[in-house]
Amino acid sequence: MSFAAYKLMHAPTGVEHCAAGFITHAAADFTPRVVAVAADDLDSEWPSSTKSAAPVPNLVIAAANVLEVYNVRITEESSSTEPKPPSESKRGGVLDNISGASLELVCHYRLHGNVESLGILPSGSGRGRRKDSVILTFRDAKISVLEFDDSMHGLRISSMHCFEGPEWLHLQRGSTYFPRGPVVRVDQLGRCAAVLVYNLQMIVLKATE
């Protein structure tokens, strides 16, 4: 019987992997907030907007063996009809109608190995109250799928996959060292995830309910 030990000698100083997804909540749980419209102010220099704030996903980061999940708290702009100063640039895209944002730490984990790549598997169609999943890969060919559990208010392992050992030696093609760890890529429709292991072997994992 063999054992493996992992000890981080120095705390990580930078973020290596970053992704966004609906981990702690589903997109359907978000209640849109519509900015008030001033119907009598027709000559305003800045036209009023009726665009509602979009659902805000979680921020997932990994640094060495540290995994963290954050909630993004946004502050919407005031509905005041006063013209904005010229020095203030008009925001657009995801920052439209947002005056500020802050991060709230939801969960923090120290893992028994460095995260080689990180991916967010979407819940699929985007309808309903299903949440996204987090896929982590570790050397040399280990894969973990995590989901948020409301009962414990934290991440739990939904599946683990290991393509190492005597039964998988044919995947290594005679090599014993690989300079790069496994790389994960996910289907944007949430149907599957593909992982490149041993620099030349692709493993496809099918998503299940």
Per-residue pLDDT tens digits for 153-179 = 999 999 999 999 899 999 988 888 888
Q: Which residues contact 34 (CB under 8 A, 6 or more apart)?
A: 50, 52
pLDDT for 77 beyond 90 = no
pLDDT band at 95 (very low <50, low <70, confident <90, very high): low
Lowest mean pLDDT among 90-99, 112-121, 197-206: 90-99
DSSP helix/strand/coil, 28: helix
Distance from C-alpha of 24 to C-alpha of 58, rounded to nearest angstrom? 7
Instruction: Supply the mean pLDDT for the chain.
Output: 80
Q: How far is CA 151 from CA 16, 36, 95, 200, in A?
A: 30, 37, 33, 40
Higher-pLDDT residue of 93, 187:
187
Q: Shortest CA distance to 205 belongs to which of 145, 140, 130?
A: 145
**45 vs 103: CA distance, rounded Å:** 33
Instruction: State residue 101's pLDDT score.
Output: 81
Question: Cα-Cα-Cα-Cα dihedral of 165, 171, 176, 182, to 10°?
Answer: -90
Alpha carbon dihedral 139, 134, 145, 28, in 10-degree steps, equals -170
Express each pLDDT in 110-136 by its tens digit: 998 899 999 999 987 555 568 999 999
Q: Indicate the pLDDT class of residue 38, thresholds 50, 70 and 90.
A: very low
- pLDDT of 42 reads 47
Per-residue pLDDT, 36: 41
d(CA 111, CA 136): 11
Strand 201-206 vs strand 17-21: parallel, antiparallel, or unpaired?
unpaired
How confident is residue 94, by pLDDT bands cut at 50, 70 and 90? low
pLDDT band with cut points at 50, 70 and 90 for residue 34:
very low
The pLDDT value recorded for residue 176 is: 84
Checking if the pLDDT of 31 tops 60, the result is: no
Nearest to 182 by CA among 168, 7, 80, 89: 168
Query: What is the average pLDDT across 30-52?
Result: 48
At residue 84, what is the residue type?
A: K
Q: Give 17-28+55-77+96-206's CATH code, choosing from 2.130.10.10, 2.30.110.10, 2.40.50.100, 3.90.1150.10.
A: 2.130.10.10
Q: What is the pLDDT of residue 11?
A: 83
Flag whether pLDDT at 51 surpasses 60.
no
Model pTM?
0.77
Three-state SS at 51: coil
CB 18 within 8 A of CB 121: no
pLDDT of residue 87: 47
Does 82 or 63 have the greater pLDDT score?
63
